Structure 1
Amino acid sequence: MTDLAHGAVTAAPSSALPETAGVHWRARVDETRLNRTARSWTASTLAHVVPFVATGAGLIVLEPLSAPVALAAFAQAWILPELYAQRGANVVRPKPLAAGTNPAAESRALGLLGDLVGHAARDLHGETGLVLERGRLGVWLVGPAGALLVRRGGRRTHCWCVRVPDPALPTADRVAHLLLALRADEEGFATVANQAFSGATWRVRRRLNREQRPALDTARAAAKAL
């Protein structure tokens, strides 16, 4: 999981994140690279799924009595993409509060986070734990240890794993720091973060916690309007 140093985001918007220097071997993320990454994930998924589908179909054609084995192959073809989507959804899955967490600090952090976003985003965070942020690359949902990017049209979602390496930091402060980093340098944020999944939004939605799904629904609706 990639780390964003706490307190590092002090520059004005559109300045490059200093953390990008730590991943200098990565090409900077932009529209073209995101589209290329999406095609790569699709090709990789097909490479895993098609052999199982072909095997199942072939077994039924050659020997109808082998249908149970064919069904197992079809099930495997379905399960593999679901496992990838689960890994993607995990980047925003709520984590239990660390032992010794100060409730007062958490409350203050929530207030500071609320000052950074509008009423709608504040309400959505209160319900789902995720903050919606519109960007040039699409619509983001930011959590304390990762973010989802719903691309224009709402059909594809990229899942990014990134965190603030300070175990004492309140959860809302982690979200606020990632949000500020995203606003300062959206492409740099996506470059620094580790991509956990890229695929159909409906597939990611299935793997999210039930209380987080309205956030993805809202982001998808916003992405369709871009």
Structure 2
Amino acid sequence: MATDGVAAAQALSPQELLPETAAVHWRPRVDERALRRMGALWTLTTVAHIVPFLVAAGVLLWLEPLTLPVALACVAHAWIIPELYAQRGANVVRPRGRAAAGPERISLGLLGDLIDHGAREHHAQTGLVPEAGRLGTWLVAEAGALLVRDGGRRVYCYCVKVDHPDLPSGDRIAHLLLALRCDEQGFATVANLAFAGARWRVRRRLRAPMRPALAAGAVATRSSTPA
């Protein structure tokens, strides 16, 4: 039986499929089911990192209260490891190097032609471009994107390789935005998933100016989720 992702791919014409998907032909096409599965796997991974350290801390204190410093170190590890994963996820939208002022200004003008006034304001304030999709609400940056899902509770952090990293920032965002609009599932298939987890974890690791975009993405996702 074909999966939802395969069926969706078959419904698209060859011109509508991202050509880059051919380079990762071994990857199953991302769909709702795949996203739920990946989210569950990331949750299990987080639990697998946290629980052993917490259990070890409890056992050490139960056996010998004087081992409190070691137990506290175990608790610290249980906290730090998921935070490092979240940091890796937040890094996908970290601003990259800038081109000269002239090309940057022109690229931002061209990007502005692709998006509406609200998205332009979001980009000016946060550096991220919001884009509503079938899989959730996307926040597109220069070399990656955040996908806000599950009523705004979970964020998927995708890193996307840009073929021409010397392009101005607006051109890089426009390139990813057009690819996303052309084939959303293909975009999620080609991109590398750096992290998937609770929105609050990602928010803590984002730069402060970007946090309002994540909050707005969560609101947009909740409003588009059927009751």
Same fold (TM over 0.5): yes
| Relative contact order higher in (CA < 8 Å, ≥ 6 apart) | 1
Partners of 1:92 and 1:143 within 8 A in 2 = yes
Report what 2:49 is aligned to: 48
1:163 alignment partner AA: K
Instruction: Give the C-alpha shift of residue 213 in structure 1.
Output: 0.7
2:170 alignment partner AA: A
C-alpha distance in 2, partners of 1:167/1:194? 17
1:196 counterpart SS class: strand
Q: Deviations along 1:87-131, whole A, 9 cap, x unmatched?
A: 00000011232xxx3311111111111111111110010011100
TM-score by length of 2: 0.90
Instruction: Give the C-alpha shift of residue 15 in structure 1.
Output: 1.4
- Runs of 4 or more, structure 1, over 4 Å off, are none
Contiguous gaps of at least 5 residues in structure 1: 1-10
Partners of 1:53 and 1:77 within 8 A in 2 = yes
2:100 alignment partner AA: N
After superposition, the CA RMSD in angstroms is: 1.6
Work out the number of aligned pairs and report it.
Answer: 213
1:70 aligns with 2:68: no
Partners of 1:144 and 1:163 within 8 A in 2 = no
1:121 aligns with 2:119: yes
Partners of 1:163 and 1:178 within 8 A in 2 = no
Q: Deviations along 1:1-58, whole A, 9 cap, x unmatched?
A: xxxxxxxxxx99x911010011000000000000000011111111111100100111
Greater CA drift, 110-119 or 30-39: 110-119
Instruction: Give the C-alpha shift of residue 167 in structure 1.
Output: 3.1
C-alpha distance in 1, partners of 2:25/2:74? 42
2:135 counterpart SS class: coil
Q: Give runs of aligned pairs for residues 150-189 of structure 1, distance below 5 A.
A: 150-189=148-187
1:137 counterpart SS class: coil
2:155 counterpart SS class: strand
Report what 2:190 is aligned to: 192
Instruction: Give the C-alpha shift of residue 225 in structure 1.
Output: 1.2
**% identical equivalent positions:** 60
C-alpha distance in 2, partners of 1:105/1:189? 26
1:153 counterpart SS class: helix
Report what 1:138 is aligned to: 136
Contiguous gaps of at least 5 residues in structure 2: 1-11
C-alpha distance in 1, partners of 2:61/2:150? 40
1:57 aligns with 2:81: no
1:22 aligns with 2:23: yes
